[in-house]
Amino acid sequence: ISRFASRIPLYHFSLETAFDFICEKKIFNSLRTVIQNITLDKNEFEYIRKLLNIEENRLDRELSLRELEELKNSFLKNEALKSYVYSLSEKAYESAVKYFAQEGLYENVSFAFADVGWRGTLQVSLNRLLSKRIPAFYFGLYTDEFLKESCNDLWTSYYFSSSKNFLRKLHFNNSLFECFCTAPDGMTSGYEFKNGKWIALFASEGNVNCKKWFLQEQLNLIEAWTENYLSLGIPDSPSVKMDDKLLCALMFRPEKNEAELYGSYLFSDETNEENLIQLAPEYTEKDFKSVLLRLLHKSLKRKCVKSFWRYGSIARSKLDFLSKFVFRSYCYAASVWTYIKQK
């Protein structure tokens, strides 16, 4: 299962909601990334590109948030595109339902859904696909807005939630955490009937980080350590405190060698996991100056290198101690301000 494979089958239930997801804000937005939220198939991609009359040289130009919103509104007025997305979604829905039926998920059995987090949208999608309310366990939740609408409080969060553990959220990096939990397989892109049974389709042969990071060995070690820890019968409270100490040290105050290792992991925040970049590329003097300009006046904002783990990028940089301190302080203040605005 993946966010991509669970969302597309539901697009035809509400095209307005579908285009909200298709044009969802990411760290990098372009016409290519938007169309890839509809399909990863090359022929279907090309059909949509021609349908929208988009020249190839425009596909990778970065879109502003205003342009992204305008694009979504234009999609909602394009009957040909809406009809095509509807048909793709219906086909994907039929395949997903048959795959889940084969796996016994429609039978009268009790099971739960476990996920790292962060908004609960995958649980919402599964509930709709399976026509039942599945309880879920999360490592952390930044918001429960989507869950409250359709999941009847059938979830719990371990490390932080939308209304609790503010400092843990500030010191935490969900992108880095996903690197610890990622599967060695490629992303699930859909389902197909082959050799007499329904199987999952993968967007690639395997995770691009698999060999460098020894992902399967890493998962085996995590499982073995967890089983051993649970066998000791230690209550949850000391466990959370230990996790807090370890995660804060790595994610919020990483050493340079830690940032070099984990920051080089290839990562994408896109639903289809396309357009991979380094998790935490090294910040330069130019990036630091752009932050200083931002501090002086909002209108003087300049672009920084794109980073999913800013404290890692700062730790990797060759900046002096004072520059790193100012940079870190700015990032921390920006995180606090973002949290306050969301409240």
pLDDT of residue 182: 82
**Residue reference for tokens 């399909």:** 39
Q: How far apart are CA 101 and CA 189, in angstroms?
A: 18
CB 200 within 8 A of CB 186: no
pLDDT of residue 54: 94
pLDDT of residue 217: 83
Report angle CA 290, 260, 116 to the nearest 5 degrees.
90
Helix axes 79-102, 65-76, angle to 10 degrees: 90
pLDDT of residue 61: 92
Q: How far apart are CA 91 and CA 238, in angstroms?
A: 48
What tokens were used for 27?
A: 């760290």
What tokens were used for 309?
A: 């783990």
Give per-residue pLDDT as tens, 30-73: 999 999 999 988 999 999 999 999 999 999 999 999 999 999 99
Residue at 115: amino acid letter: D
pLDDT of residue 218: 80
CB 182 within 8 A of CB 207: yes
pLDDT of residue 95: 97
Give per-residue pLDDT as tens, 139-184: 999 988 878 877 677 899 999 998 888 899 999 999 999 888 888 8
Below-50 pLDDT ranges, the chain: 300
Burial tier of 182 (Cβ tally within 10 Å: 0-12, 13-18, 19+)? buried
pLDDT of residue 302: 58
Strand 277-278, strand 266-267: pairing? antiparallel
Q: How far apart are CA 113 and CA 268, in angstroms?
A: 23
